[in-house]
Amino acid sequence: MTPTREEVGANDLDARLWLGALHRAADVSARAVSLESAAGDVMAQVCSAAGWPVAWLLAVAGGRVEPTHVWHMTDHDRYGSLLAVGDEEGMGAPLAARAVALGEPVWTGDLAEVGAVCTEAAHAGLSGALAFPIHDDGDGHGGVVVAVVQCFSVRAERPPPDVVAMAAAAVGQLGRVVDRERAAAASDEAVLMTEVAHDAYIAVDELGRIVEWNPEAEAVFGWSRAEAVGRPLVDLAVPARHHDDFIDHLGRVLAGDARPLAPRRELVALHRSGAEFPVQVTVWTNGRDGSRRICGFVRDLSERKRFEGQLASQALHDRLTGLPNRVLLRDRVEHALARAGRRGASVALLIADIDRFKLINESLGHDGGDRLLVAVGERLTELLRPGDTVARMGGDEFALLCEDIDGYKDAVSIAARVVGAFEKPFQVQGADMSLTASVGVAVGAVAGPAPELLLRDADVAMYRAKDGGRDRYEVFDETMLVDATERLSVEHDLRRGIAEGQLRLYYQPIVHLDTGAIAGFEALVRWQHPLRGLLPPLEFIPSAEETGLIVPLGRYVLQEACLEAARWGDIHPSGERLRISVNVSAKQLAQPGWSDEVAQTLAESGLAPRQLVLEITESVLMDDTDTTAVRLEELRRLGVRIAIDDFGTGYSSLGYLRRLPVDILKIDKSFIDGVAEGPHESALARAVVKLASTLRLEAVAEGINSRKQLLQLRRLRCPYGQGFYFSRPQPPAAIPRLLDLGALEGVDPGE
């Protein structure tokens, strides 16, 4: 029988094998997130090239050698007994200690030198051992020794010097991981380590010439490794206007006069095509004397920037008309008031609401209604001076902000112009449409009043214009506020409504998009008003929020929804797996002891915590107060899942996604609306689905209205969805039938 490579050890130096091993060791070390994770791979490479059957990683802490659990062995049956010995406390390891002291590879043919494992090693037929120090600067011979790789051989003779040298070089690569771990720790970003795995990795020598260029670098910059290596980095990847700074900085870093860039700096880079793009770089120096290198991770930020830009713009503009939305208007009002205060001028804010738009919308159909709104926006924009703002507040309500006006006189004349602007009919779908609007005007002259007050006043005046017969304007005055207090009666009514059991829950199915099977339901509240009929949440939730009534209202919803969901297990076999999603307001979340309340509600209803999903709108999470974080952690501990509702509408920063324990992203309907229209319209939905999968969150698409949207979302691999296409929200009585149906939209094999 011919002996195996391990049994004989490799006497000859197989250059091809070693080159492969070195290359792989460098690559693994450039990517690994920890020494332990890279060591196994590198030890396997070295053992296979050298013909050694066993290798073991030992850590060095405070000069002492410590065993680790990281081993490589070619034959577990044969060498497995070494593992148990390695676990023993207080093992002495003279060979490893000698490697630490010398800072160089050492060999022994006397296994007593390897410490506690020696007896087992001898039993397993091993005869010699080598210890390779790992230096913290990744250079193979400088810096401090932070770990040792100990390899065992079957032969008792010292391996040839070039085999030892090659193995030392491969093991030495592991120092890069340590070096980088330290750079990351210094940047206080543990996160970085998990992220860098997909980054471009580049290193340059002391002349600034590229020596390392991984496949990600090829993808990011457009130059292949063969083209890049040996050329100055500055020529390939740095825009010309930054050349001097770059070369200057590089020189000073290499001379030790400047620190490398702070971790995660954002810079501009150059692509092969000549295009510039934003990158984030983390740089460190490596090696000493003579062989200094500068290494770095480079991440392409263009995709993220584009996405953030789109989100930010979408968050501040109305998608249909492209006009500023309520958020941006509020900001402009605030600035306008501040400027007015300084200049002694006034600001007029007008709210224009189209009369009976609901009827018109129904007669024209959805598309026609949309086009009409766009036309109204355009006409109002033409009416104003360039510096003024026209915003769409939502639905059929527009706002106009005019600066530098001369008090009420000007405000009134603008209001008259706005009402007059509707006299000319609008052209929609080839027909003339006559519209009127009711306009409320408020004037502000000092920085003092909050923008909300001016908005409120204009709103009150607008309602007065509606009450006064529509197609007219009203200027706000204080007496109107008295009328507005009538609206307090809503509060009174609602308080009674909650107490007297007038709230109703409707349930909308959430389905697996690939099969249409029901995964759960979202509970949506309605108010059975004794005079006004069944009211949708938008008619009373805002005032419930304002008055604090949302807390008792939300309590009722949570209790009722849990009781209802707990029954599903009895009416259908799938019932025990279904989830129930309940909307939660910021005010509820802020209540001390609210998590206990949730726990109690679960216990009382008998619903399993894993069945409950709490939906919280994005803006609440973005505030990201300590209370929010603490509360979410408490809920997570209960076993309850957390969803971000209306994701994408309140964007400012995505950082909170990483910090808070979130399980589910509900993609706002506004992203889904355009999803079937084309690549441009679906880009954001695609990005959000991808973001969710990157962060390992479940994505739920909200407001799916058509089969086309469904098919496109399936293509984007969005796992869950809800919308009128599957089912409108249903009263509880309809649920057994839905569960019997099983799937609401099956896979169509023809698609």
Q: Which residues bind Mg ion (CB under 5 A)?
A: 583, 615, 645-646, 702
For residue 356, the SS3 value is coil
Residues 6+ apart with CB under 8 A from 650: 315, 617, 618, 619, 622
User: What is the nearest approach in angstroms of ligand C2E to the Cβ of residue 711?
Assistant: 15
Q: Which is nearer to ligand C2E, 139 or 615 (CB)?
A: 615
Residue 605 to residues 34, 519, 601, Cα–Cα distance (Å): 46, 20, 6
The option from Mg ion, ligand C2E, none interacting with 287 (CB < 5 to 8 A, set by class) reads none
User: What is the nearest approach in angstroms of Mg ion to the Cβ of residue 702?
Assistant: 5
- CB of 733 within 8 A of CB of 751? no
Q: Which is nearer to Mg ion, 213 or 671 (CB)?
A: 671
User: Per-residue x/- mask for ligand C2E, residues 456 to 495, rule CB under 6 A?
Assistant: ----------------------------------------
d(C-alpha 497, C-alpha 225), whole Å: 71
Residue 703 interacts with ligand C2E (CB under 6 A): yes or no: yes
Q: Which is nearer to ligand C2E, 277 or 726 (CB)?
A: 726
Q: Which is nearer to ligand C2E, 80 or 536 (CB)?
A: 536
* Binds ligand C2E (CB under 6 A): choice among 147, 557, 562, 691: 557
Q: Which is nearer to ligand C2E, 693 or 705 (CB)?
A: 705
Sign of CA dihedral 146, 150, 151, 153: positive
Residue 554 interacts with ligand C2E (CB under 6 A): yes or no: yes
User: What is the nearest approach in angstroms of ligand C2E to the Cβ of residue 706?
Assistant: 9
For residue 426, the SS3 value is strand
Q: Which is nearer to ligand C2E, 203 or 360 (CB)?
A: 360
Q: Which is nearer to ligand C2E, 334 or 545 (CB)?
A: 545
User: What is the nearest approach in angstroms of ligand C2E to the Cβ of residue 645?
Assistant: 5
User: What is the nearest approach in angstroms of Mg ion to the Cβ of residue 521?
Assistant: 11
- CB of 565 within 8 A of CB of 580? yes
Residue 44 to residues 22, 31, 38, 152, 642, Cα–Cα distance (Å): 11, 17, 10, 12, 43
User: What is the nearest approach in angstroms of ligand C2E to the Cβ of residue 560?
Assistant: 9
Q: Which is nearer to ligand C2E, 141 or 714 (CB)?
A: 714
Residue 705 interacts with ligand C2E (CB under 6 A): yes or no: yes
Q: Which is nearer to Mg ion, 438 or 581 (CB)?
A: 581
The option from ligand C2E, Mg ion, none interacting with 729 (CB < 5 to 8 A, set by class) reads ligand C2E
Closest CA to 366 of 412, 320, 324: 320
- The b-or-e profile of 673-683 (16+ CB within 10 A means b, else e) is bbbbeeeeebb
Q: Which is nearer to Mg ion, 173 or 588 (CB)?
A: 588
How many chain residues bind ligand C2E (CB under 6 A)? 23
Q: Are strands 265-270 and 276-286 parallel, antiparallel or unpaired?
A: antiparallel
Residues 6+ apart with CB under 8 A from 485: none
Residue 429: count other Cβ atoms within 10 Å of its Cβ: 11
d(C-alpha 519, C-alpha 575), whole Å: 10
Residues 6+ apart with CB under 8 A from 145: 60, 99, 100, 103, 133, 134, 135, 136
Q: Which is nearer to ligand C2E, 295 or 635 (CB)?
A: 635
d(C-alpha 110, C-alpha 119), whole Å: 11
Q: Which is nearer to ligand C2E, 68 or 627 (CB)?
A: 627
User: Per-residue x/- mask for ligand C2E, residues 311 to 350, rule CB under 6 A?
Assistant: ----------------------------------------
User: What is the nearest approach in angstroms of ligand C2E to the Cβ of residue 586?
Assistant: 9
For 22-49, the DSSP string reads HHHHHHHHHH-SSHHHHHHHHHHHHHHH
The option from ligand C2E, Mg ion, none interacting with 54 (CB < 5 to 8 A, set by class) reads none
Q: Which two tokens stand for residue 206?
A: 């002391």
**Cα angle: 134, vertex 135, 136; to 5 degrees:** 120
d(C-alpha 488, C-alpha 419), whole Å: 29
User: What is the nearest approach in angstroms of ligand C2E to the Cβ of residue 538?
Assistant: 6
Closest CA to 524 of 588, 610, 615: 615
User: What is the nearest approach in angstroms of ligand C2E to the Cβ of residue 521?
Assistant: 12
User: What is the nearest approach in angstroms of ligand C2E to the Cβ of residue 198?
Assistant: 33
User: What is the nearest approach in angstroms of ligand C2E to the Cβ of residue 692?
Assistant: 16
- The b-or-e profile of 144-162 (16+ CB within 10 A means b, else e) is ebbbbbbbbbbbeeebeee
Residue 664 interacts with ligand C2E (CB under 6 A): yes or no: no
Q: Name the one range near ligand C2E by CB under 6 A: 248-256, 325-333, 687-695, 697-705.
A: 697-705
In a 13 Å sphere around the CA of 478, the CA atoms on its Cβ side amount to 0
Q: Which is nearer to ligand C2E, 189 or 681 (CB)?
A: 681
Q: Name the one range near ligand C2E by CB under 6 A: 245-253, 384-392, 446-454, 701-709.
A: 701-709
State which amino acid sits at residue 625: T
Find the binding residues for ligand C2E in span 575-594 (CB under 6 A). 583, 585
Residue 723 interacts with ligand C2E (CB under 6 A): yes or no: yes
User: What is the nearest approach in angstroms of ligand C2E to the Cβ of residue 504?
Assistant: 11
For residue 501, the SS3 value is coil
For residue 50, the SS3 value is helix
Q: What are phi and psi of 531, to 5 degrees?
A: -105, -35
Q: Which two tokens stand for residue 95?
A: 């060979």
User: What is the nearest approach in angstroms of ligand C2E to the Cβ of residue 602?
Assistant: 17
d(C-alpha 715, C-alpha 679), whole Å: 12
Give a three-class secondary structure readout of 640-686. Answer: CEEEEEEECCCCCCCHHHHHCCCCEEEECHHHHHCCCCCHHHHHHHH
Q: Name the one range near ligand C2E by CB under 6 A: 103-111, 549-557, 629-637, 676-684.
A: 549-557
Q: Which is nearer to ligand C2E, 347 or 716 (CB)?
A: 716
User: What is the nearest approach in angstroms of Mg ion to the Cβ of residue 616?
Assistant: 9
Q: Are strands 698-701 and 720-721 parallel, antiparallel or unpaired?
A: parallel
The option from ligand C2E, Mg ion, none interacting with 557 (CB < 5 to 8 A, set by class) reads ligand C2E
User: Per-residue x/- mask for ligand C2E, residues 241 to 280, rule CB under 6 A?
Assistant: ----------------------------------------
User: What is the nearest approach in angstroms of ligand C2E to the Cβ of residue 583?
Assistant: 4
Find the binding residues for ligand C2E in span 523-542 (CB under 6 A). 524-525, 536-538, 541
Residue 29 interacts with ligand C2E (CB under 6 A): yes or no: no
User: Per-residue x/- mask for ligand C2E, residues 629 to 648, rule CB under 6 A?
Assistant: ----------------xx--
For residue 507, the SS3 value is strand
The option from ligand C2E, Mg ion, none interacting with 538 (CB < 5 to 8 A, set by class) reads ligand C2E
* Binds ligand C2E (CB under 6 A): choice among 332, 566, 729, 745: 729
d(C-alpha 336, C-alpha 343), whole Å: 11
d(C-alpha 415, C-alpha 399), whole Å: 11
Q: Which residues bind to ligand C2E, rule: CB under 6 A?
A: 508, 524-525, 536-538, 541, 550, 554, 557, 583, 585, 615, 645-646, 702-705, 722-724, 729
